Chain A
Amino acid sequence: MSQSEPYLKIGNLTKRFGDFTALSDVTLAVFEGEFVCFLGPSGCGKTTLLRAIAGLDIQTYGTVDQAGRDVSSLPPAERDFGIVFQSYALFPNLTIEKNIAYGLENLKQPASKIRDRVAELLQLVGMPEQGKKYPAQLSGGQQQRVALARAIAISPGLLLLDEPLSALDAKVRVKLRHEIKELQRKLGITTIMVTHDQEEALTMADRIVVINNGLIEQVGTPEQIYREPATRFVADFIGSMNFLPATKVSKNKVRIGQLEFSCSDAAGSAEITPDQPVHAAIRPEDILVGDASSNYIDATVDSIEFLGSFVRADLSSPQLDGLILLADFSANRVRSENLSAGSHIRISLPAESLLIYAE
């Protein structure tokens, strides 16, 4: 993440399908060697943006600059990228070797050189012995690796991945996450991955671009996206979040029910004028037992749900006019505090974790 010129610049990109606007006015910069995830619900325009970057579906307006070159209207063959699709699109009638060599054969290299490169790539993706097989003879995860090897075979400057893991079993998916990330780091290749799986994005990305309805909601590191969601949509989409109807009182004061709380002034809350109805938001795991901060209330545990390493509790308090708060407590905590349905506890909502969003 150098401070120099970005490797890829997307400027005011809009894509329409007939009357329908799939992307509107998207502007984004990706730096050399970065791993960026496009994250958003299904149908929000992630694939459309990726295909515009690749030149597979040219945008209606806007520009794409790659490595200092304006590629906005170039066909895919004249751009510099490798791509992996959700379906892998391996050529079924060619062996694994031939699939990987497919792009190399255009470069007019001697056969021995191609063979060496294919062997090297097979080694790289951990399948050194499988070159003679056909795609149908491989497992989903192996096909995925082959598709990746084929995409990076011609050493492209940019690697595009469209939901590469979504067709796989949960276990394989987690394993491949690490493999892909590892490979990307080793090669230092600038990578954009599309996913609707927030866990995938949070674990793999250097930066995440959250997209909704064809608009960029937020760009930031996984930490920023999780800790300081810029919009109500991001707050809701990533992780779980309590939303409580509230009223802004002053710069970092908010009233929920009958109580006033200090709150964070991050997340664009500066634009909200006092006395405006807002939503106060806090993640269940940020709610603490005890009066560690001045933002505390007395609550009743309505019910408790055991979720393995932690427990999710439904809390309510007369001071909050009957609003329900979800809180996650560690299993140890529950045991030491002896919490169960009907218990009365004091909880605090740390100010830096209490965010507010306009209604």
Chain B
Amino acid sequence: MLVFMGVIACYLVVALALPLYAILSKSFKNNDGEFVGLANYLEYFNTPSLTYSIQNSLTISIITTLISVTIAFTLAYGLSRSCMRLKGLFKIIALVPILVPSLLPGIALVYLFGRQGLIKELLFGHDIYGPIGIVISEVFFTLPHALIIIMTALSIADARLYEAAQSLNAGKVKTFFTVTLPGARYGLISAGFVVFTLTITDFGAPKVIGGDFNVLATDIYKQVIGQQNFEMGAVVSLILLLPAGVAFTVDRIMQRKQVALLSARAVAYEPKPSTSFDWIMFSWATIVSIFILTILGTCQYAALIKFYPYDLTLSLKNYQFDLMDGGGWESFYNSLELACWTAVIGTVLVFLGAYMVEKGKGFHLGRSLFQFLAMLPMAVPGLVLGLAYIFFFNSPNNPLNFLYHTMAILVISTVTHFYTVAHLTAVTALKQMDPEFESVASSLKTPFYRTFTRITVPVCLPAILDISIYLFVNAMTTVSAVVFLYGPHTSLASVAVLNMDDAGDIAPAAAMGMMIFYTNASVRILHGLLSRGVLRKTQSWRSR
């Protein structure tokens, strides 16, 4: 058992700790690898065009956070506290953005509000390229994440509190401010920090729709890919790490408090019908859904139009990826391969790792250290991780150097990038198991691996399936870490979207983005059916 844990700990050290150390040390060196102290940082802070991005990034992230959390909260409130119709459908639609790369809303916005946009008049002369476009894209991209967190927070509300409020004759508004809001506050704060982190570290939206408006994430990309100034890239990365790290820490503290609330014994709240309230919430959910479907629909439209805006006939010509730069269909197949490997290897690694941390005995320091390493990826933006991999794996004296540009390094970086959420899912599932299972098994002289395969895995199967689909979907959509790591034969669909958009082939970029969407949507449905089948077979014990 210790051996397993050692292996996974080694993985995290090699795939995370050492690359992060490499990027840190790089930021203190010059181009020739000599130590120059804080010189790079001084140069950075004396270059206004660069420091200006800090302000831009913060502004964009704060505005996005306010808008996204407000929409998510009102929507979640409607979904959990009203009796409106079509709740299931609204929930599915609101979660759609998870299935597409963050580049996609930007592309849709170009078609809607760009120079020749379908409804550009709605902007009253403002330019979509810049902060407006970025914020709209980021709201689209972050909404599902905020929604999930806030839904959870609202769903644990205690019906008894509402009954108490009612018996004290508190009105709807007063009840909202004295019961609902305080109960959901940790969820709201947590959602806020998650949205903030996602936005400040996102690179897809500002790249596509940012125009001349520079943010930290695009600066890293430009420094590295555009100017080959790796040292400055490292400096910007570390600056980006700071707000992301702070937001992450606060979020963890909030989540912990939320858990404490959860474990209290509550009676589930059942909403009662109220015509006017239900209609208001229904209209609001419809508006949000239209927003999401418009973005997605526009991309689909763009992908199917021959030559916007001159030839509006439908065709599949934009799907002939082999005729464009960006890696063609091969990049799509590569993405599929990456997603499958990530899902399989990642799930095994994550679940075993979580099992060791949870069920291991003694060896406290090692386990806390492992837990810390498992939480770290969440705080590290994808671009920073990707750049760190360049420094670490591309270094000529690294024996692992052969991995560079291969599918293997893409899998490693993706598993690492999304490790934390998967790890937390696994830990939560394991914590729900009776801690005495292992004790009983050892009293029955059963080796731990037999109990692991016969009890632990079957009982945790729903969580394991959730982890695998989470890793698959994210591997399909991620751009940030892999954009530095793909090679001539390992281009990816999401990267192809980026590169085709960069080259002006916006319609094929939209088409490729939609390919990712179809894939993720199908896999999600398949996963739903499969889970149901597997659950029916193995989890019959859950029903009484």
Q: Which of B437, B440, B445, B454 has the most CB of A within 10 A?
A: B440
Are B445 and A136 in contact (CB-based, < 8 A)?
no
Contact B443 A54, beta carbon cutoff 8 Å = yes
Q: Is the CB of B443 within 8 A of A151?
A: yes
Residues of A within 8 A of B32 (CB): none
The reply to whether A76 and B443 contact each other, CB–CB distance below 8 Å, is: yes
Please determine whether B539 and A93 come into contact, CB atoms closer than 8 angstroms: yes
Give 1 or 0 for each of A145-178: 1 = CB within 8 Å of chain B CB: 0000011011010000000000000000000000
Is there an interface contact between A87 and B436, defined as CB atoms closer than 8 Å? yes
**In whole Å, how far is B439's beta carbon from the nearest beta carbon of chain A?**
5
Are A82 and B443 also in contact (CB < 8 A) when A87-B436, A89-B434 are? yes
Known: A106-B445, A154-B445. A89 touches B541 (CB 8 A): no
Q: Is B265 an interface residue (CB 8 A)?
A: no
Is the CB of A77 closer than 8 A to any CB of chain B? yes
A81 at the interface (CB under 8 A from B): yes
Contacts of A54 in B (CB 8 A): 439, 443
**B444 nearest CB neighbor, chain A only:** A103
Give the nearest-CB partner of B446 in chain A.
A106
Q: Is the CB of B439 within 8 A of A94?
A: no
Whether, in the assembled complex, B455 has its beta carbon less than 8 Å from a beta carbon of chain A, the answer is: yes
Interface centre among A75, A93, A136, A137 (most CB of B within 10 A): A93
Tell me which residues from 54 to 88 in chain A have a Cβ below 8 Å from any Cβ of chain B: 54, 56, 75-77, 81-83, 85, 87
Set of chain B residues within 8 Å of A93, measured between Cβ atoms: 455, 458-459, 538-539, 541
* Residue of B436, B455, B458 with most chain A CB atoms under a 10 A cut-off: B436
Find chain B residues with CB under 8 A from A136 CB: 541-544
**B459 CB to nearest chain A CB (Å):** 5
Is A310's beta carbon under 8 Å from chain B?
Answer: no
Which residues of B in the span 509-544 have a Cβ within 8 Å of any Cβ on A?
Answer: 538-544
B247 close to A (CB within 8 Å)? no
Bound together, the chains give a CA A77 to CA B451 distance in angstroms of 13
| A137 CB, nearest partner CB in chain B, Å | 6
Separation in Å of the A37 CB from the closest CB of chain B? 20
B442 contacts the other chain (CB 8 A): yes
Closest to A75 in B: B442
In the complex, A102 has a CB within 8 A of chain B? yes
Q: Given the complex of chains A and B, what is the CA–CA distance between A94 and B457 in angstroms?
A: 13
**Cβ of A31 < 8 Å from any Cβ of B?**
no
Closest Cβ of chain B to A240, distance in Å, is 33
Within 8 A of A (CB), among B419-452: 434, 436-437, 439-447, 450
Task: Kindly identify which residue among A77, A134, A156 contacts B541, using a CB–CB cutoff of 8 Å.
Answer: A134
Alpha-carbon distance A199/B486, docked complex (angstroms): 71
Across-interface contacts of A89 in B (CB, < 8 A): 434, 436-437, 439-440
Query: Residue A296 at the B interface, CB < 8 A?
Result: no
Partner of B444, one of A87, A94, A150: A150
Q: Judging by beta carbons under 8 Å apart, are B446 and A103 in contact?
A: yes
Pairwise interchain contact B444-A102, C-beta atoms closer than 8 A: yes
Task: Report yes or no: A83 in contact with B440, Cβ–Cβ below 8 A.
Answer: yes
Interface of A is mostly: loop
Please measure, in the bound complex, the distance between the C-alpha atom of A154 and the C-alpha atom of B538, giving whole angstroms.
27
B445–A103 touching, CB < 8 Å: yes
Closest B residue to A54 by beta carbon equals B443
Which residues of A lie under 8 Å from residue B540 when comparing CB positions?
A: 134
A87 touching B443 in the complex, CB below 8 Å, given contacts A93-B541, A136-B541: no
Interface-centre pick from A83, A85, A91, A156 (highest chain B CB count, 10 A): A91
Which size class do B's interface residues fall under?
20 to 34
Give every chain B residue within 8 A of A128 (Cβ-Cβ).
Answer: none
Q: How far is the CB of A130 from chain B (nearest CB, A)?
A: 14
Residue of A nearest to B538 (CB): A93
Contact B541 A83 (CB under 8 A): no
The answer to whether A77 and B544 touch (CB under 8 A), given A54-B439, A89-B436, A91-B437, is: no
A85-B459 contact in complex given A102-B441, A103-B446, A136-B542, C-beta closer than 8 Å: no
A137 touching B544, Cβ below 8 Å: yes
Which residue of chain A has its CB nearest to the CB of B362? A58
Asked if A92 is at the interface (CB within 8 A of a chain B CB), the reply is: yes
- The residue in chain A whose Cβ has the minimal distance to the Cβ of B450 is A106
Interchain CB contact under 8 A, B541 and A135: yes
Q: Which of B442, B458, B538 gathers most chain A CB within 10 Å? A: B442
Q: CB distance B439 to A85 under 8 Å?
A: yes
Q: How long is the Cα–Cα vector from A309 to B450 in the complex, in angstroms?
A: 56
- Which residues on B sit within 8 Å (CB–CB) of A153? 444
| Also in contact, A85 and B442, with CB within 8 A (given A136-B542, A136-B544, A137-B544) | no
| Pairwise interchain contact A81-B443, C-beta atoms closer than 8 A | yes
**In the bound complex, what is the Cα–Cα distance between A150 and B437 (angstroms)?**
13
Contact of A106 among B444, B459, B539 (CB under 8 A): B444
Chain B residues in 8 Å Cβ range of A154: 444-445
Say yes or no: A92 contacts B459, CB within 8 Å: yes
For A85, give its contact among B440, B444, B542, B544 (CB under 8 Å): B440
A85-115 interface with B by 8 A CB criterion: 85, 87, 89, 91-94, 102-103, 106
C-alpha spacing A134/B542, complex, angstroms: 9
With both chains docked as a complex, state the minimum distance between the C-beta of B360 and any C-beta of chain A, in angstroms.
Answer: 14
A103 to B436, CA, bound (A): 15
Given A92-B459, A93-B455, A136-B544, answer yes or no on A77-B436 (Cβ-Cβ < 8 Å): no
Chain A contact residues, CB within 8 Å of chain B: 54, 56, 75-77, 81-83, 85, 87, 89, 91-94, 102-103, 106, 134-137, 150-151, 153-154, 156
Q: A91-B454, A93-B541, A154-B444 are in contact. List 18 more A-B contacts (CB 8 A).
A: A76-B442, A77-B445, A77-B447, A85-B436, A85-B439, A89-B440, A92-B459, A92-B542, A93-B455, A93-B539, A94-B454, A94-B455, A103-B443, A103-B444, A134-B541, A136-B542, A136-B544, A154-B445
Interface residues in chain B, defined as those with a beta carbon under 8 Å from any beta carbon in chain A? 434, 436-437, 439-447, 450, 454-455, 458-459, 538-544
- CB-defined A-B contacts under 8 Å, sample of 17: A75-B442, A76-B442, A76-B443, A77-B447, A89-B436, A92-B459, A92-B542, A93-B455, A93-B541, A94-B455, A102-B446, A106-B446, A134-B541, A136-B541, A150-B444, A151-B443, A153-B444
Q: Which 7 pairs of residues, A with B, have the shortest CB-CB distance?
A: A103-B444, A134-B541, A89-B436, A76-B442, A85-B436, A93-B458, A89-B434
